């Protein structure tokens, strides 16, 4: 085996979690060429990689959209030159590509996502497990599931080697990324503004700037408003490339995020993350690479977790899981800042 195709199209956070695994396997098997097939906008995540990692950007909303687009994608990547496929996604799009490889006699290994176990957990069904704590038993992490895919290709990894390059920068300042893809994962905006206001006051004399991260017009408007109101606060929304944002994160003392892509980008940057969790739960396996559960800010409620991705509406309609006091968050941030 000399040429392996690695597939992980989306979402951004899941692609980010694949980076340390692919980097590790490439370093452990330098005689093998690894080509990462992902959406074009994830290119920045694959910079500064070992020489045997190559990025292939797919135009999933244009040229490579639909069945005919996937057929074109197979031609574009010259799929017959690969010996095997590591499918880290397991969706209809990647499955279509997998079948083409199987018909060509190639070896294919696909991620096992543990969908049933996750469904049982978020629906609080414990009768299949005798333990009263079954809902909180850790589910295999996404990182572990990725490594298992390569193991099934005959490329087992030394998990102790799963690391990222360590930044030698002097850490200074904090980053705040207050948004996520779904409401069940977003700390109330008015409470987050209170957190920003108080941190701006507390850090004013400590030479610790605050940087705000976000994307989209609505997020940009909110963050720019905070920038105008609070001294020492700078919004980066819409001003930087993803690569530039990761570079900025690498120099920060701390990032405060939701269970979101920014948690994973900061993890790639080697920066400590305090993450806020609502409808989801780190036990479902999506905690940022290298992060600790002790740095997860969350309420232990019987109704949690109620969603794998945070896209399920709250049955109480009040998202009580996100009713965390701004005091709690500010105190935890300041504790980290003063310890370092």
Q: Which fold has domain 3-161?
A: Rossmann fold (3.40.50)
Is 0.85 surpassed by the pTM of this model? yes
Listed residue (146, 117, 150, 149) closest to 134, CA to CA: 117
Superfamily classification of domain 174-339: Glycogen Phosphorylase B; (3.40.50.2000)
Cβ-based burial of 187 (10 A; exposed 0-12, middle 13-18, buried ≥19): buried
Tracing tokens 């244009």 back to the chain, one arrives at 62
Q: Are 6 and 32 in contact (CB under 8 A)?
A: no
Q: Are 29 and 4 in contact (CB under 8 A)?
A: no
Helix (H) or strand (E) holding 233: strand 233-235
Parts of the chain belonging to CATH 3.40.50.2000: 3-161, 174-339
Listed residue (21, 157, 32, 150) closest to 83, CA to CA: 32
How does pLDDT run along the chain (340 residues), one tens digit per residue? 999 999 999 899 999 999 999 999 999 999 999 999 999 999 999 998 999 999 999 999 999 999 999 999 999 999 999 999 999 999 999 999 999 999 999 999 999 999 988 998 898 876 555 555 555 566 899 999 999 999 999 999 998 889 877 777 789 999 999 999 999 999 999 999 999 999 999 999 888 999 999 998 999 999 999 999 999 999 999 999 999 999 999 999 999 999 999 999 999 999 999 999 999 999 999 999 999 999 999 999 989 999 999 999 999 999 999 999 999 999 999 999 988 7
First to last CA, the chain: 46
Cα-flanking dihedrals φ and ψ of residue 334, to 5°?
Answer: -65, -35
User: Would you give the distance in Å from CA 103 to the centre of its chain?
Assistant: 33
């Amino acid at each position: 085996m000399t040429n392996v195709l690695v597939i992980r199209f989306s979402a951004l956070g899941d692609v980010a979690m694949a980076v340390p695994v692919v980097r590790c396997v490439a370093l452990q098997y330098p005689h093998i060429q690894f080509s990462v097939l992902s959406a074009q906008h994830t290119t920045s995540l694959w910079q500064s990689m070992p020489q045997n990692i190559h990025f292939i950007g797919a135009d999933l909303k244009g040229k490579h959209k639909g069945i005919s687009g996937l057929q074109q994608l197979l031609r574009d990547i010259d799929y017959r030159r690969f010996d095997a496929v590591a499918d880290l996604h397991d969706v209809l799009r990647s499955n279509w590509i997998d079948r083409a490889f199987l018909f060509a006699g190639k070896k294919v290994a696909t991620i096992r996502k543990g969908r049933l176990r996750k469904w049982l957990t978020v629906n609080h069904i414990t009768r299949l497990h005798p333990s009263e704590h079954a809902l909180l038993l850790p589910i295999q992490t996404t990182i572990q599931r990725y490594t298992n895919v390569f193991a099934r290709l005959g490329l087992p990894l030394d998990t102790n080697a799963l690391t990222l390059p360590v930044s030698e920068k002097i850490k200074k300042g904090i980053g705040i990324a207050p948004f996520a893809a779904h409401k069940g994962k977003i700390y109330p905006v008015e409470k987050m503004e209170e957190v920003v206001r108080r941190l701006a006051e507390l850090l004013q004399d400590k030479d610790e700037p605050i940087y705000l991260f976000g994307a989209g017009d609505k997020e940009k408007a909110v963050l720019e408003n905070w920038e105008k109101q609070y001294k020492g606060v700078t919004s980066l929304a819409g001003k930087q490339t993803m690569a530039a944002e990761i570079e900025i994160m690498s120099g920060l003392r701390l990032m405060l995020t939701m269970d979101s892509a920014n948690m994973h980008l900061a993890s790639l940057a080697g920066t400590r993350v305090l993450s806020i969790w609502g409808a989801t739960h780190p036990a479902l396996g999506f905690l940022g690479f290298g992060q600790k559960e002790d740095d997860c800010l969350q309420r232990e409620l019987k109704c949690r977790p109620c969603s794998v991705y945070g896209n399920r509406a709250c049955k109480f309609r009040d998202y009580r899981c996100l009713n965390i006091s701004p005091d709690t968050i500010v105190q935890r941030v300041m504790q980290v800042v003063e310890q370092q």
